[in-house]
Structure 1
Amino acid sequence: MTATTAPVRATATRPGAIRNRILWTLQVLLGLFMVIASGIPKFVGQEDAVRIFDAIGFGDWFMYFTGLVEVAGGIGLLIGRLAGAAAAGLSITMVFAAATQAFVLDAPSYSVFPLVLAAVFAWLASQRRDGLVALRDRLSR
């Protein structure tokens, strides 16, 4: 009596495929958040955004500029080659947002969310650093 065994099927996932899916899921969710919930309200003059930027004291131009930065960063997260640079830029933007909440608007409790986002964006940028290096090399030619 001979025993035959079924061939072992190798999984079709390559190393890092799950990590890549997680990164893309985060990028899409955060990109949509930055465009829809954070950037666009500044363009349409949402009441809360106008009130906050009036309290900052830089005028409407700064609200529109901040909205533009957030929308551009959100779109950049959705573009593979720009994801690392967009995440790095948004990380810096969120640190400034937290500092503004804490020191200019005198609401340090509101600075926690931007700091959490800054940490997530910094992690995304470190995970997408190959894109940052490729972009740097492309721009330095």
Structure 2
Amino acid sequence: MTVLSIVLQVLLGLGFLMFGLIKFGLKQMVDGFKHYGYPGWFRVFTGLVEVISAALVIAGIWNETLAAWGGLFIVATMIGAIFTHIKIKDTVKSMMMPIILLILGLIVLLINFGSLL
């Protein structure tokens, strides 16, 4: 386990915990998902996936397999977020956070990928 991986996992874990929890009821998230054309259950599902991803990458500090799975979930979630921004014809500036999180999730996945084999 490298220091880089630990730092990324802590940052991603705390960030995704926060991002996931606010999806459960923050008015901005409710309005945002309506704007994107998604039903309310999908917002809750997305929040749950983000909380699980957070738990996996944080637990992955002690278990590389969990870190790899958490990184994979983050990558998949951010691909979905980027496609959502493309679907609504959002600006590239609006896509920067999902792009950065995709890259960081991919780094965590690649650092810990060997544990999946």
TM (normalized to structure 1)? 0.74
Identity value in percent:
29
Distance 1:23 1:56 in 2: 33
Q: Could you say which structure has the greater relative contact order, defined with CA pairs below 8 angstroms and 6 or more residues apart?
A: 2
Contact 2:8/2:104, CA 8 A, preserved across alignment:
no
Distance 1:26 1:120 in 2: 7
1:131 Cα deviation from its structure 2 partner: 2.2
State the partner residue of 1:111.
Answer: 95
1:95 Cα deviation from its structure 2 partner: 1.3
One-letter identity of the residue aligned with 2:20: G
From 37, 58, 67, give the equivalent of 1:78: 58
CA-based RMSD: 1.3
- SS of 1:22 mapped into structure 2: helix
Distance 1:25 1:95 in 2: 22
Task: Write out per-residue CA displacement over residues 62-117 of structure 1, whole angstroms, 9 at most, x where no aligned residue.
Answer: 0000000100001100122310111012112101101101222x312211210111
Distance 1:119 1:57 in 2: 26
* 1:7-18 correspondence runs (5 A): none
State the partner residue of 1:32.
Answer: 14
State the partner residue of 2:23.
Answer: 42
State the partner residue of 2:4.
Answer: 22
From 43, 57, 62, give the equivalent of 2:37: 57
Provide the aligned length of Structure 1 versus Structure 2: 112
State the partner residue of 2:108.
Answer: 124
1:132 Cα deviation from its structure 2 partner: 1.9
Contact 1:102/1:110, CA 8 A, preserved across alignment:
no
Structure 2 unmatched runs, 5+: none
Larger radius of gyration: 1
Contact 1:99/1:111, CA 8 A, preserved across alignment:
no
TM (normalized to structure 2)? 0.88
State the partner residue of 2:86.
Answer: 102
